[in-house]
Structure 1
Amino acid sequence: MPNELTGPLAEFIRHLASEKRHSPRTCDSYQRDLLRLADWLGRSGFVAWQRVTNHDLRRYVATLSREGLSGRSIARHLSATRRFYQFLLREKLASDNPALDIRAPKSGRRLPRVADVDQLNHLLDGQPDDPLEVRDLCMFELMYSSGLRLAELASLDLDTVDLRSGEVRVMGKGDKERLLPVGRKAISAIQAWLPYRAALANDGEAALFVSQRGERLSHRSIQARLSRWGISRGADQKLHPHLLRHSFASHMLESSGDLRAVQELLGHADIATTQVYTHLDFQHLARVYDQSHPRARRDRYHGKTSDESS
């Protein structure tokens, strides 16, 4: 790969890290996507970024699509490329931004997976065997009860939960605080966990959920414990924190039909984000319809509707 391609790219990553204060993870993502583009350009005979045209980048997008990348992934690649060319223009290493007018191909809407109500009840009705499992069950009950994000659950402190009023105060995205109801089962689970927490927590530790070392439980530990709980209880799909949140949203919407209320509970700034769950609800209704309506059921062997086969 020509140094004329890799040199400016390395400078851009340093710019993101030092001047823009982006996280190492964000910088790695930019570097990975742009190195892929630089490799493609090098194999195509390009020796400098300023020689790349809008037509060249459209060819690259077509290549990514043929290689199986989703529209969302291609959009991320294009966003990185546009940002990189803004840097090149500032450094006078390019005369225009060839990625400006290029849009990624649309992907079909990917709906979040949810767990069946009966399966969740079975998983959450399991009896814990030790103090750490008491803690785990408490976390999972609370996530499903109040639709918490992983980061919101991990950041909970003792004083953010009011058992008397049945409420939890969480800090969501954009540092927006919201007050959420806590269900009866989750309150019971918290009450069962608090004596064990008092014995485990280090002096001065404010976290509601702590590890064996008495410190606030990490995101990774919560993810691992939920996955382990699902395996030990015979779940038919891998359990992860967002599955509980998705299930909360879908089950609430299915029962209430109140999209605005679910939006408030989830802490979504835009109701369009919440509307994805209406598609999940419709899928459920469509399955019930197909299975139940006398003029929708199909003969198993002949593909005929029930009235046709009689």
Structure 2
Amino acid sequence: MNRRVFERYLKEGEERQLFQTVNQFKSVLARRDYAWMRFMRQTGIRVETMAGLSVGDATAALRDRYLILRPEITKRSQGGKVFLTNKARRALRDLLQIRREMGYPESADLPLVYSRKHKRMSIRSYQDRMRHWCRAAGLEVKASPHWFRHTLAKRLMKNSTAKDPRGVVQGALNQRDPRSTAVYTLPDREDIEDAMEEVS
């Protein structure tokens, strides 16, 4: 990653364009993708965590308003928990409804998200689906699911009225080292574009 400019996030217009494109399609797979993309954007979880979620994780999260990140599905097995906004809860309910429509039983230990091959959706599948929808939306950026994590962090840094936005980002993303949030204070594409327009 270029440490002088932060680029791996979706600008508001790009995010809107992406979600509007996916939402136009009503097939069960498109609705599945729309739901997991919204959930990742609202929670900032990593793709390996998304791929590892079970029905039990989802139902417990809806009950408690916190998603418990089991160590086995998190980076460096560090675990943690994530607060669920109302939008995140809606996306999670949609994922449960969609898997019912796809005909999968609701046992707690079964995967939350299935592929069209009737298996747990793999990290590679999430990445492929993200590339597919970015192309369909006509986005110039080549985004991965991890960009949703960065996008959430950028929105928190720019829009939060908290006294310590960096601390909020650190907590929201379950980052143990405060230095990990430093990247979100770098100038981003919008900062540079706006500054250049001002002086042109």
Name the TM-score, length of structure 1 as normaliser. Answer: 0.54
Structure 2 runs not aligned, ≥5 long: none
Q: Which residue number in structure 2 is paired with residue 239 of structure 1?
A: 143
Q: Deviations over 1:160-214 (max 9, x none)?
A: 1222443322232232222212233333233233233123436856111111233
Larger Rg: 1
State the 1:151 CA deviation.
0.5
* 146 and 108 in structure 1: CA distance in 2 versus 1, 3 angstrom threshold: closer
Cα distance between partner residues in 1 of 2:112 and 2:65: 15
Does 1:149 find its partner at 2:46?
Answer: yes
Which amino acid in structure 1 is aligned with residue 75 of structure 2? K
Cα distance between partner residues in 1 of 2:99 and 2:14: 28
Does 1:278 find its partner at 2:185?
Answer: yes
* 285 and 234 in structure 1: CA distance in 2 versus 1, 3 angstrom threshold: closer
Q: Which residue number in structure 2 is paired with residue 269 of structure 1?
A: 176
Please say if residues 209 and 216 of structure 1, whose CA atoms lie closer than 8 Å, have aligned partners that are also in contact: yes
* 123 and 108 in structure 1: CA distance in 2 versus 1, 3 angstrom threshold: closer
Cα distance between partner residues in 1 of 2:25 and 2:55: 22
Which amino acid in structure 2 is aligned with residue 193 of structure 1? L
**Residue number among 166, 171, 194 corresponding to 2:65 in the alignment:** 166
* 245 and 197 in structure 1: CA distance in 2 versus 1, 3 angstrom threshold: same
Which amino acid in structure 1 is aligned with residue 86 of structure 2? R
Which amino acid in structure 1 is aligned with residue 111 of structure 2? A
* 211 and 117 in structure 1: CA distance in 2 versus 1, 3 angstrom threshold: same
* 289 and 225 in structure 1: CA distance in 2 versus 1, 3 angstrom threshold: closer
**Residue number among 70, 75, 93 corresponding to 1:191 in the alignment:** 93
Cα distance between partner residues in 2 of 1:149 and 1:280: 23
Which amino acid in structure 1 is aligned with residue 10 of structure 2? A
Which amino acid in structure 2 is aligned with residue 157 of structure 1? S
Does 1:115 find its partner at 2:18?
Answer: no
Does 1:136 find its partner at 2:33?
Answer: yes
Matches within 5 A, 1:32-111: 109=4, 111=6
Which amino acid in structure 2 is aligned with residue 208 of structure 1? L
Please say if residues 67 and 84 of structure 2, whose CA atoms lie closer than 8 Å, have aligned partners that are also in contact: yes
SS in 1 for 2:67: strand
Name the TM-score, length of structure 2 as normaliser. Answer: 0.80
**Residue number among 115, 128, 133 corresponding to 1:211 in the alignment:** 115
Cα distance between partner residues in 1 of 2:192 and 2:4: 18
Q: Deviations over 1:39-86 (max 9, x none)?
A: xxxxxxxxxxxxxxxxxxxxxxxxxxxxxxxxx9xxxxxxxxxxxxxx
Q: Which residue number in structure 2 is paired with residue 201 of structure 1?
A: 104
RMSD: 2.7
Cα distance between partner residues in 2 of 1:240 and 1:200: 28
Structure 1 runs not aligned, ≥5 long: 1-71, 73-106, 292-296, 301-310
**Aligned length, in residue pairs:** 188
SS in 1 for 2:6: coil
Q: Deviations over 1:248-294 (max 9, x none)?
A: 1111111125111111211222111111101136x755654665xxx
Q: Which residue number in structure 1 is paired with residue 84 of structure 2?
A: 182
Q: Deviations over 1:221-255 (max 9, x none)?
A: 11101111111122221221121111111111111
Which amino acid in structure 1 is aligned with residue 43 of structure 2? S
